[in-house]
Chain A
Amino acid sequence: MAEGDVEWELSKENIQPLRRGRDISALHQALSLQQEASNSTVCQHRQAFEAELRVNDGEDPLDVWDRYIKWTVQTFPQGGKESNISVLLERAITRFAEEKKYYNDSRYLDIWLKFAEHCPDPLDIFRYMQSKGIGVLLSAFYIAWSEEYERMGNYKKADCMYQEGFKCGAEPREKLMQFHRSLQARVSRHVMSAIADQDSSEEDDAMEIEEPQRITLGELKTRGKKKAVAPINRTGNRVIKNPRGLQMNAPLGPVQNSCLMVFDENKASFVPQEPKPESWMALPSSRAKENEQRPDKWTNIKMPQKSRFGQVIRAPPSRPNFQPFVEECDLPPTMTPCKINPSVNLVLSARKLCREETPLKRLQSHQQQQRDEGRAPEQSMYCKELLFSGATEFCFEELRAERFRQKLLTGTCPCHEGAHQPEACPSRKGAHPPEASTC
C-alpha cells in the first residue's frame, strides 16, 4: 500500500479532483494501467458499457448512462480526450432531454452538473436548466449555481440562489441551509478581510474575492510611451475547473473596462448583467469547438517518392483543382461518378461539416428532425438510433453479438426463439450432425 501511495503522489497534477473524492483503488488501477500503456481491459470494459447501453431497455435507461459516466470519470483521472467524457455527457443529456420524469432525478442532475463543469460558461447552462425545470427541486442544483457565482465573486447573486432554492422548496432542505450558512460565513470573512486589506493597501483596486488566492498587489505598470495596457489575467483556481480555455474573469485593474460582476460592499454597487430568463431553443455551446481541431493537412506540397509498389508518385499540380464534391440526387440508376479531392483543399472537404457543428446546432437539428419525422427525402433503412445511441458507434454484428452474449448468459438458446429446449442447442453441446438439427 505504501508503494501505491507514492505512485499516486507522483502524478497528483494529472488527476482532476472530484467533489466526492476518488475511489483510491480505482485510482491506483487507472494510473498503473496508464503506465503500462495497455488499455485492453479498459477497452473491453468500455465496449461492455456501450453494448449494455444498446441492449438494456428496462425501466431505467438512465442507470446505464450513470454507471458508464461514473466509471469513465474514475478510470480516466486526467479527464482528457481519451476518456471521451465530454461526448458521453453530451449524449447522455440529449438522450434524456425530453424525458420529464428524469428532470428531478439526482443522477440526471449530476450529469448536467458535470457537463456544466466542462463548459466555458456554466451560468448559461444553469439558466437553461432553470428554464426547462431540470433539477429545480433539488438542492444540489442551487448549491452548484451559487458556487459558480461565488467563484466569480458575485456574492449577492450567490446568496440569491439560496433564497431561490428555499422558495422552490428544494430538497433536502437541511443541506441547503447548511451550505447557505457556510456561504454566509465565507462572505462575512471576506468582507472583514477586504476591509482590513483596503485600509492597509495604497492602491485602490477591485480585488478578486477568493480567499485562498493571493491578494493582488496592483496592476502591472506600463512602460514606455505606449498607453495600451494588455489585459491582465491573474490565474486562480478558476483555471483548474476549465482546462480548455483561459477565462477572462480574473480581476483586472481599474484601468480595464470591466463588465464583470465584482462584488464589493463598500464600493458603489452595480447591477450585474443578468440576462432575462428567456426561452431557450437549445443548449448553449458546451466547449470551445474551435480549440478542438482535427488533424489536417498543412500544405498541398508533395515530395515525389518511390512507393513500395514500384511506382513513382508524381506531385499533384500546385494550382488547386477546384472540383467541389457534388452530390447528385436525380440521376438514372447507373453509377454516378462523384468527384472527390482527397489531396486538394480543405475548404470544401467533406469533413468540414463536422468541424463546424456545435452542440447547439446538433441539439436543434435533433429536435427539428423529431418534428419533421417522415418528411426526409432519404430514409436509412437500418436501425440508426441503435447503432449510434452510445458514445461510440456500433455495427450490426456487434449488436447481434451482444444479443448472443446476453442470451448465453441468461441460458436461452441464441439460435432460435422458443421452439425447442436449450439442452438440444448445438452451441451448448458441441458438434452434431446437421440433418438432425431441430433448431
Chain B
Amino acid sequence: MSLFGTSSSFGTGGTGVFGSTTTDSHNPMKDVEVTSPPDDSISCLAFSPPSLPGNFLIGGSWANDVRCWEVQDNGQTVPKAQQMHTGPVLDVCWSDDGSKVFTASCDKTAKMWDLNSNQAMQIAQHDGPIRTIHWIKAPNYSCVMTGSWDKTLKFWDTRSPNPMMSLQMPERCYCADVVYPMAVVATAERGLIVYQLENQPSEFRRIDSPLKHQHRCVAIFKDKQNKPTGFALGSIEGRVAIHYINPPNPAKDNFTFKCHRSNGTNTTTPQDIYAVNAIAFHPVHGTLATVGSDGRFSFWDKDARTKLKTSEQLDQPITACCFNHNGNIFAYSSSYDWSKVERKGPALEPRPPPQASHGAVHAGAGTGCRFQAWSRPICVI
C-alpha cells in the first residue's frame, strides 16, 4: 500500500468505513504497519536525524528491547537490529550525527548503541529508573542528559562513568525535551523547570504549571527564526498547554486547549477524559501532533489555534509518536499504556488484558507501529 504522493490517505480512514458493517479499529487510518513490532507496549519512538540518509525508526518497548527499522521510500519497513536492556526501555534518542542511539531503561542504566558495530555499552547510572534521555550538542560540549525518578538530572559525556554534572530536581522527572539551548523538564507534583544549556547546563526558571493535573509529556517548539521559544505540555486529563518562555503578552500568548475527550459538544452524557501520551512538533510547519489514551491522534495549529485533523479511533491507546526529520512521515504506536489498571489480588493487571495473540508473532499483537504520510503541506494563515 503506497501512501506517498496520494492525498487520499488522509481521508481514507474516514471514508473507508462508511457503509461497511465491520470497522477495522485495529488500523482505521489504513496506515502502513511496521513489521516485527515489539512484543509489549511501545514506550518511545525516534526517527533518525537529517545527517543520516534515509529514514530509520527506533522504538523502545516494555519488553526490554529497542528495535531499529529502516523505513523505505515506498513505505515498507525493514527490521534492522535490536538491543536489549534488563528492564523496560522508557526513552530513546539519536545522536546528532546519526551513528549512535541512546536508550534509557527501568534498570537504572542508559546505554549507547553504536549502529555500525551493533554494540551497546552502558554510559549512565542512576539510583532510580531513567525516564528521559536526550542528546545535547552545544558548540563547546556535547553530552547526554538523563532524567530519572531519583529526582536528579545528570549529564554524561559518554566516555566517563561519572556524570559531568548532576542537578537536583524537586521531584521525579516525568518528561523532558531538549532543543539547544533550551531544555524543559516536567516533574511530579506538577513541577516545571526550564534549563539553559549554553556554556554549561543550569537551571533557568521554575514555572508555575499552567495545568491542573499531572504532567505527562512535553515538547519544545521553535519560532520563525528556528530558535526554541516555548513548549507544549500535556497532562493526564485531556489538556495541552502552550507556553512561551518570554512572550510579549503572557496573558494572551499562553493558552491551554482541551483534547482527547469524547463527546465533543454533547453535554448531556458525561465526557470521558483521556491522557495525552505524547506531543510532537512538525519540523517544518510547526504544527503539533498529540496522541492520547483514547486511541486517536490529532494535529493542531497552535498559531491559528485550531484543530486540523483528528484520526479515527484505534482499538488501543496510542502511546508514542514522532515525525521524521523532514516531516514527511508521522509514526505512532498503538499499544497498551496502562491508563486503565485495576488490582487483581496482590498484583496490578491492565484492564482489559492486552491482546496477546496466542504466543505467535503477529503484526500488531497488541502492539503496532504505523505511519501516516504527510503529503499535504499545511498552510499557516
Contact = CB atoms under 8 A, between A and B. Distances in A.
Partners in one complex: yes
Contacts, number: 223
A393 to B, nearest CB: 6
Given A337-B257, A397-B131, A415-B63, A309 B245 contact: yes
Contacts of B196: 308
A427 B39 CA distance: 12
Nearest to A395: B174
Contacts of A398: 149, 172
A435 B196 CA distance: 44
B270 A377 contact: yes
B64 interface: yes
B285 interface: no
B261 to A, nearest CB: 8
Given A44-B150, A392-B188, A321 B264 contact: no
Contacts of A380: 236-237, 273
A426 interface: yes
Nearest to B39: A439
A383 B340 contact: yes
A396 B337 contact: yes
Contacts of B338: 396-397, 399-400
A214 to B, nearest CB: 44
Contacts of B342: 383, 386
Contacts of A339: 251-252, 255
Contacts of B237: 380
B353 A311 contact: no
Interface stretch (B7-15, B156-164, B210-218): B210-218
A139 B306 CA distance: 65
Interface stretch (B45-53, B81-89, B323-331): B81-89
A426 B361 CA distance: 14
B257 A401 contact: no
Nearest to A337: B255
Interface stretch (A114-122, A267-275, A416-424): A416-424
Interface stretch (A53-61, A99-107, A247-255): A53-61
Interface residues of A, number: 77
A426 B61 CA distance: 13
B294 interface: yes
Interface in A310-352: 311, 313-314, 316, 321, 323, 329-344, 350-351
B293 A382 contact: yes
Contact of B128 (A47, A313, A316, A433): A47
Contacts of B210: 340, 342
Contacts of B182: 309
Contact of B265 (A333, A338, A351): A333
B379 interface: no
A430 B274 CA distance: 36
A313 B84 contact: no
Interface of A is mostly: loop
B106 A333 contact: no
B106 A401 contact: yes
Nearest to A342: B250
B313 interface: no
Interface in B276-327: 293-294, 300, 305-307, 310
Interface in B174-214: 174, 181-182, 188-189, 196, 198, 204, 207-208, 210, 212, 214
- Residue among A47, A415, A417 with the most chain B CB within 10 A? A415
Interface stretch (A143-151, A179-187, A278-286, A402-410): A402-410
Contact of B267 (A377, A379, A383): A377
Contacts of A416: 39-40, 354, 356, 359
A357 to B, nearest CB: 13
Contact of A427 (B64, B252, B267): B64
Contacts of A307: 245-246
A321 B264 CA distance: 31
A404 B271 contact: no
B115 to A, nearest CB: 15
Interface in A52-70: 54-58
A342 B267 contact: no
A338 B257 contact: yes
A438 interface: yes
A146 to B, nearest CB: 40
Nearest 7 Cβ contacts at the A-B interface: A382-B339, A335-B257, A57-B343, A333-B264, A337-B255, A427-B64, A439-B39
21 contacts: A40-B150, A40-B151, A57-B346, A311-B246, A331-B265, A333-B264, A335-B300, A337-B305, A338-B255, A339-B255, A340-B241, A342-B250, A351-B208, A380-B236, A381-B339, A386-B342, A393-B188, A400-B348, A416-B40, A426-B64, A439-B63
Given A336-B257, A379-B272, A427-B87, 18 more contacts: A40-B151, A47-B128, A47-B149, A57-B343, A308-B196, A330-B265, A333-B264, A334-B305, A336-B258, A341-B251, A381-B294, A382-B340, A387-B236, A392-B189, A393-B189, A401-B106, A426-B84, A433-B82
